[in-house]
Amino acid sequence: MEPGVTTVTIYGQEYSVRGGEDPQYVREIAAYVDERMREISSASGQITSLRVAILAALNITDELFQQREGLQRTRKEVRSRTLKLLKTLEKGSV
C-alpha cells in the first residue's frame, strides 16, 4: 500500500482513501459511515446501495447541520454572558 493511503471497507466495498489524515481517524470515519448505511439498510428493507448511500449522506449531513446550529447557539450564549459579566465588572469598578 502507498504511503498516505488507507484501505477501508464501507457497506461491503473496499476503498483506498488517499490523504494526510491519521489512518486510524480515516478508519473511524469509514466505520461510522458503514454503521449508518447498515442502519438505514436494515430499516429500509430492499433498496439499492446507491439509495442507502444517499440516505446515509442526508442523515449524516443533518447531524452536521444540527451540530453547527448548536455550536452557533452556544457561541451566542457565551458572548451574551461575557458581555453581561463585563458590564457587571465595569459597574463594580466605578
Taking a C-beta distance cutoff of 8 angstroms, is the pair 40, 59 a contact?
yes
CB count in 10 Å sphere of residue 32: 14
Taking a C-beta distance cutoff of 8 angstroms, is the pair 40, 56 a contact?
yes
pLDDT in tens, 12-52: 999 999 988 899 999 999 999 999 999 999 999 889 999 99
What are the residue ranges spanned by the domains of the chain? 5-92
The whole-angstrom separation of Cα 46 and Cα 72 is 38
Residue type, 94: V
Q: Is the pTM of this model over 0.85?
A: no
Residues composing the chain: 94
The whole-angstrom separation of Cα 40 and Cα 81 is 41
**Average confidence (pLDDT) over 72-92:** 95
